[in-house]
Amino acid sequence: MENTVTKKNINKNWLEMIILISLFNFLFLGSEYLFDNMIAKVANPSKVVIAQSYVLGASVVGFVLYPIIKKILDNKTGIKNTKNIAVSLAIVLGCFCVWKFSHSDSYNVILMCGCLLFIILGAFGSTVFYFTAINYGNSKYLGKTIGFAYGFGLLIQFVSNNLIKSNNLESVSIVVLWVAAIIIVQKISGKSNSDDRCDNAVKEKGGLKNNYVMVILLIAIVVLMANVFTTLDNVVTLFHADGTFDVGQYPRLFLAVSGIAAGILFDIKKGRFMYIIMYCITLLSTICILTIVSGGAFLTGLVVFYLSAGFFAVFFTTAFVKISLKMENTRLWAGMGRAVNNLMAVLMGSWSLKLYSTENVLLITVLSLVLFVAISVLIFLYTMKNIQINRAEIIENNWDNLTNSEKETNSTNETDKLQMFSENFSLTKREKEVLEALLNSDDSVQNIAAGLYISRAALYRHISNINKKTDTNSRVGLIKFYYTWTENTI
C-alpha cells in the first residue's frame, strides 16, 4: 500500500514538473511570437530579426541573474516576506510588460518592454531548470521530462496561435499562464530541500576540475551548433516577418514531435547515444542550410529545420541540467544551455542576415562544412572525456565500498602494491610492465604498445595472459579489479 502511494506521489510530482517546464516553454516561445508580430507592425523584416536577437539577449541576463537574486534574497533576513515581495513584483512586471508591448505602436516601447519581460522570463527559466536538476537531474527520465515538456509547450503555443486571433486575447492567455506557472514553481519550491541536494551532489561527484573541462567542451559544442540553428531560425523569422509564411502553422508541429522523440531517444542507455544522435542531427541541419541557400523549396527546408531544432533544444537543456549537479553553483549552470543558445542568437543576429543576403552559395557551403567538422571534433573530445570521468567514478565507487582496513592497505605506495599484485598472481616482468602501462595511461592500445616497444599483437597476448591469471575478462575489468584488490583478497 505504501509503495503504491509513493509511486502515485512520484508520478504526480513528475507530471507537475512537466507541466511547469511546458508552461515556461510556452511563455518563452509564445511571448517571442507575440513580440515578433507586434514589432513587425512598426519595423521592416530585418529590424524584426535584430529586435528578436535583443530580447533573446535580455533573457541571457535573466538566466545569469537568478543565482545572484536568490543569494540577495537569502541574505535579507531582516526584511519580512522578501520572497513573497519578489514573486509579486515578478508577476506585476511580467503582466505589465506583456500588456504594454502588445498595445503599443512605438518601436522603442515594444523593444524596451520586450527586453524587460525576457529578463524576467530568463530568471524564471533558470529557476525552473534548477528545480528540474535537483529533482530529476540524475533520473533515468530526465530526457523524457524535458522532451515531453518541450513538445507539450509547443502544442499549447500551436493551439493558441490557431485559436486566438486577437493580440489582446493572446496577451491575456500569456498573463494567465504566467501567474499559473509562478504558483506551480512556488509549490515545487516548498517541496524541494534544494540546498541539501545540491551540496550532496557536488560532494558525491567531486572532480570539479574535470567537470569544468566538460562544461567548457559542452559550451563550445552548443555555441557551434547554435551558429547553425540560429542562422536557420533567423531566416525563418525573416520569412515570417515579411508575410511569406506564418511560423505558427502546421509545420511547427514537427518541432513538438521532434522534441518528444529527442526526449525518448536521449534516455536510452542513460544518454549514451545522445551525442551520436546530435552528430546526425547537425548533419541534417547542415543539409537544410544548403537546401535553402541553393534555392530549394522553403517548406521542405522548414520541416527539416523543425525536425532538427527540437532535438537541439532538448539536447542543450538536458546536457546542462545533468551536468549542473556536478558543479559548485547548480543554480547558475542548470539553465546555461538556454542562456548560451540565446547569447549566440544575439551575436549571430545581424551577421547571419548579412551572410544570407549575400546569396553566396559557395561561401555559405564552406562555412557550414567547417562548422560541421568542428562540431564533430568537439563531440568526439567530449565523448572521450566523459568515458574517462565515468571510468574514474566507477573506481571511486569501488573504493567507497571498501572497508577501512582495505583502504589502508590500498593506500600503500603504488609501487609496493604493484609489486605485491605481480607476485601474488605470478606475473612475469614484462606482464608487470604491461599492467603498469595500462594503469597509468589512457592511450590507445597501439600507443601503449609503441611505448613498451612491442607489437600490438604482443601487447594483446600479454593482456590476455594477465586476464587469465587474475580471472578478469577485459582491460577495464582488470583495472577495476586492481584498484579494489588488497593483499588479503582471496
pLDDT digits (tens, 9 = 90+) for 434-468: 888 888 877 777 888 888 888 888 888 888 889 88
List the single range of 75-89, 217-231, 447-461 with lowest mean pLDDT: 75-89
Question: Is 489 a domain residue?
Answer: no
Inter-residue contact 236 to 289 (CB < 8 Å): no
What's residue 371's pLDDT?
A: 84
For residues 148 and 188, membership in a common domain is answered with: yes
Mean pLDDT over the full length of the chain: 81
Q: Is residue 246 predicted with pLDDT exceeding 70?
A: no
Tell me the pLDDT tens digit for each residue of 309-345.
Answer: 899 999 999 999 999 988 888 999 999 999 998 898 7
How does residue 151 score in pLDDT terms, banded at 50, 70 and 90? very high
Task: Decide: residue 8, CB within 10 A, 0-12 exposed, 13-18 middle, 19+ buried.
Answer: exposed
| Domain that residue 50 falls in | 2-395
Question: Is 163 a domain residue?
Answer: yes
- DSSP notation for 314-332: HHHHHHHHHHHTTSS-HHH
Sign of torsion over alpha carbons 229, 143, 120, 172: positive
Q: Is the pTM of this model over 0.75?
A: no
Q: Is residue 490 predicted with pLDDT exceeding 50?
A: no
For residues 62 and 124, membership in a common domain is answered with: yes
What's residue 21's pLDDT?
A: 95
List the single range of 157-171, 257-271, 314-328, 426-440 with lowest mean pLDDT: 157-171
Please compute the mean of the pLDDT values over residues 155-180 and round it to a whole number.
Answer: 87
Percentage of the chain surpassing pLDDT 90?
Answer: 26
Backbone angles phi, psi at 488, to 5 degrees: -90, 0
CATH code of the domain containing 465? 1.10.10.10
Q: Is residue 429 predicted with pLDDT exceeding 60?
A: yes
For residues 372 and 356, membership in a common domain is answered with: yes
What's residue 258's pLDDT?
A: 93
Residue that wins the pLDDT comparison between 288 and 93: 93
- Distance (Å) of CA 310 to CA 13, 115, 241, 254, 303: 24, 25, 22, 8, 11
Task: Decide: residue 55, CB within 10 A, 0-12 exposed, 13-18 middle, 19+ buried.
Answer: buried
CATH code of the domain containing 63? 1.20.1250.20
What's residue 396's pLDDT?
A: 54
What's residue 344's pLDDT?
A: 86
For residues 412 and 281, membership in a common domain is answered with: no
What's residue 11's pLDDT?
A: 78
Q: Is residue 76 predicted with pLDDT exceeding 70?
A: no
Please compute the mean of the pLDDT values over residues 6-15 and round it to a whole number.
Answer: 68
Total structural domains in the chain? 2
For residues 340 and 445, membership in a common domain is answered with: no
Question: Is 490 a domain residue?
Answer: no
List the single range of 69-83, 88-102, 273-287 with lowest mean pLDDT: 69-83
> How far apart (Å, rounded) are the C-alpha atoms in residues 29 and 48?
15
For residues 69 and 188, membership in a common domain is answered with: yes
Q: Is residue 361 predicted with pLDDT exceeding 50?
A: yes
Question: Is 326 a domain residue?
Answer: yes
What's residue 206's pLDDT?
A: 44
